[in-house]
């Protein structure tokens, strides 16, 4: 599994990476802790649904955040997340985060 994204200022300031709804099934279940490797360092993380009414109170929904803690994110960073078991495409416990040019 590969997930690519160009980070927004909101993501960089909030210490999270937005996971688009159509990619949720590629990650472990919501709120289940898993390992993310970043630059040789391993951190514990999870994908969490955040309730939102940004489209108005008549259209409530969730945004899904992958929390990255003290990993330094910047607006405009191009990131790539891969599953350590990319051959099967099944969500596993281990993922790697890369910063791409």
Per-residue DSSP letter, 93: S
Does 90 have pLDDT greater than 60?
A: no
Other C-beta atoms lying within 10 Å of the C-beta of residue 4? 12
Residue position matching structure tokens 């391993």: 42
Model confidence over 49-60: pLDDT tens digits?
999 999 899 999
- Residue 87 CB partners (closer than 8 Å, separation 6+): none
Written as six digits, the tokens of 12 are 């960089």
CB of 81 closer than 8 Å to CB of 91: no
Does 15 have pLDDT greater than 90?
A: yes
For position 92, which CATH number holds?
Answer: 2.40.330.10
| CA–CA distance, 17 with 93 (Å, rounded to integer) | 17
pTM value is: 0.84
Provide the domain limits for residue 7: 2-100
The count of domains in the chain is: 1
pLDDT at 86: 56
């Amino acid at each position: 599994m590969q997930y690519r994204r160009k980070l927004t200022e909101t993501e960089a300031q909030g210490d999270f990476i937005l996971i688009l709804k159509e990619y949720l099934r590629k990650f472990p279940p919501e709120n289940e802790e898993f390992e993310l490797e970043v630059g040789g360092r391993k951190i514990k993380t999870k994908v969490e649904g955040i309730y939102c009414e940004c489209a108005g109170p008549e259209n409530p929904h969730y945004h899904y955040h992958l929390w990255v803690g003290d990993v330094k994110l910047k607006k405009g960073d191009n990131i790539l997340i891969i599953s350590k078991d990319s051959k099967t495409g099944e969500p596993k416990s281990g993922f790697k985060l890369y910063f791409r040019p």
